[in-house]
Chains A and B, each alone.
Chain A
Amino acid sequence: QVQLVESGGGVVQPGGSLRLSCAASGFTFSSYGMHWVRQAPGKGLEWVAFIRYDGSNKYYADSVKGRFTISRDNSKNTLYLQMNSLRAEDTAVYYCAKDGSGYSYASAFDIWGQGTMVTVSS
């Protein structure tokens, strides 16, 4: 079945770095745009970043621009989020999510991963 599984979360000090991974299965990963979305404790959903199906274009929320980098390895069916210069306000559960339509045609998300927790604290 279609599945997304995140990993790589943990506790990191302010200013530190972390790389999240999202392993995809059950669909043709290389045909779909992918997103990262986060949710701070007790708060709502915040879109973080997007990468086109072929990796050719990337977009970021202003809150993470210049600090986070989204990437993908279509040969490994894996999405990544490199997070640098982490701040306390980056503490959240990070979800990867799949576009509902292929080839990065404007679409809603259809599948979400289970999430991975990132805590930024000294």
Chain B
Amino acid sequence: DIQMTQSPSSLSASVGDRVTITCRASQGISNYLAWFQQKPGKAPKSLIYAASSLQSGVPSKFSGSGSGTDFTLTISSLQPEDFATYYCQQYNSYPQVTFGQGTRLEIK
């Protein structure tokens, strides 16, 4: 099974900051990497697919990069609505996908 490891597990930042979350795969997954945002008590929301492509309607403040085993999600100019938990997901072994453990982004 492909394991996904996110870092950090939690992150404190201020409104207006730019933050980066990292996701590492236990083996190469090309660009079969997605990112999701989840707010407390809500369903996950799809942000990025194919490592760097934005889902429809997702603002350009979100960006993704990487290929192989190392990936990043960057959020620029943080706003209050961006504070949430973020998950990466590999689908190289589709349909048996796996998720990272999540990164909780909190307001400083």
Interface residues in chain B, defined as those with a beta carbon under 8 Å from any beta carbon in chain A = 32, 34, 36, 42-46, 49-50, 55-56, 87, 89, 91-92, 94-102
Q: How far is the CB of B82 from chain A (nearest CB, A)?
A: 18
> Once bound together, how far apart are the Cα atoms of A10 and B58, in whole Å?
33
Q: How far is the CB of B65 from chain A (nearest CB, A)?
A: 16
Interface residues in chain A, defined as those with a beta carbon under 8 Å from any beta carbon in chain B = 33, 35, 44-47, 50, 59, 61, 95, 100, 104, 106-115
Interface contact B91-A108, CB-CB below 8 Å: yes
Q: Which residues of A contact B34 (CB under 8 A)?
A: 108-109
Instruction: Name the one of A50, A59, A112 contacting B43, with C-beta atoms under 8 angstroms.
Output: A112
Interface contact A111-B99, CB-CB below 8 Å: no
User: Smallest CB-CB separation from A112: which chain B residue?
Assistant: B43
Interface contact B43-A113, CB-CB below 8 Å: yes
A59, A109, A113: most-surrounded residue (chain B CB, <10 A): A109
Closest 5 CB pairs of A and B: A108-B34, A50-B95, A108-B49, A106-B94, A45-B99
Interface contact A44-B95, CB-CB below 8 Å: no
Interface contact A45-B87, CB-CB below 8 Å: yes
Q: Which residues of A contact B94 (CB under 8 A)?
A: 106-107
Known pairs A35-B95, A110-B56; list 20 more (Cβ under 8 Å). Answer: A33-B95, A45-B36, A45-B89, A46-B99, A47-B97, A47-B98, A95-B43, A95-B44, A104-B95, A107-B49, A107-B94, A108-B50, A108-B89, A108-B91, A109-B36, A109-B46, A109-B89, A111-B46, A112-B44, A115-B43
Interface contact A47-B43, CB-CB below 8 Å: no
Q: Which residues of A contact B89 (CB under 8 A)?
A: 45, 108-109
Instruction: Name the one of B32, B44, B55, B56 contacting A106, with C-beta atoms under 8 angstroms.
Output: B32
With A100-B49, A109-B34, A110-B55 known as contacts, the answer to whether A44 contacts B43 (CB < 8 A) is: no
With A95-B43, A108-B46, A112-B44 known as contacts, the answer to whether A44 contacts B101 (CB < 8 A) is: yes
